[in-house]
Amino acid sequence: MPRIMINFGIGVVIGGLALSACWGWLWLIIGTVGVARGVCSLRMVMNSLIVGISPLLLGWGIWWMRAEAFSPNAAFVAGIFVIPLLLTGLSLRPASDGRPMGLHMLAGMRRLKDELLAKHHECGDCGSDHGAGSAEESP
């Protein structure tokens, strides 16, 4: 029984770390595009890189420490899905306005992504198509 609980706990930790690493890699891609366009600083890329790499290193360290006695089993696999399922369940809870909290989080992510990628809201979300040679400047 203790071995099952340890494998389940390791699965929970590794599942949470994997989710955190995916979050860091997502924002690394968005930040890299923002730096390439010149709309955000290199600090965004560096922070995202750290958030993407550090959970992977921690997960690798846990995996390495348990490698001798570790064999993936049902308890480990069940543990991997705990944190993603917990976040999914929390995102379905209603916020103060009655809408699910997950929709608020997605709207916030969309606003931050649009701000980092300099999307123009005044002209119908054209992206960064303004500038020399765009169709709006042609006679």
Does the structure show a pLDDT above 70 at 129?
Answer: no
pLDDT one-digit tens code per residue, 42-79: 998 999 999 999 999 998 898 888 765 666 788 888 99
The pLDDT assigned to 109 comes to 85
* Selection from 17, 105, 95 nearest residue 53 by Cα: 17
Per-residue model confidence (pLDDT) at position 82 = 94
pLDDT digits (tens, 9 = 90+) for 19-50: 999 999 998 998 898 888 888 889 989 999 99
The pLDDT of residue 138 is 39
Q: Please give the Cα distance from 85 to 78 (Å, whole number).
A: 11
Question: What are the residue boundaries of the structural domains of the chain, listed by start?
Answer: 2-119
Which residue has better confidence, 121 or 50?
A: 50
Flag whether pLDDT at 119 surpasses 80.
Answer: no
* CA atoms 58, 61, 66, 70: torsion sign: positive
Whether the model clears a pTM of 0.85, i.e. scores above it, the answer is: no
**Per-residue pLDDT, 120:** 62
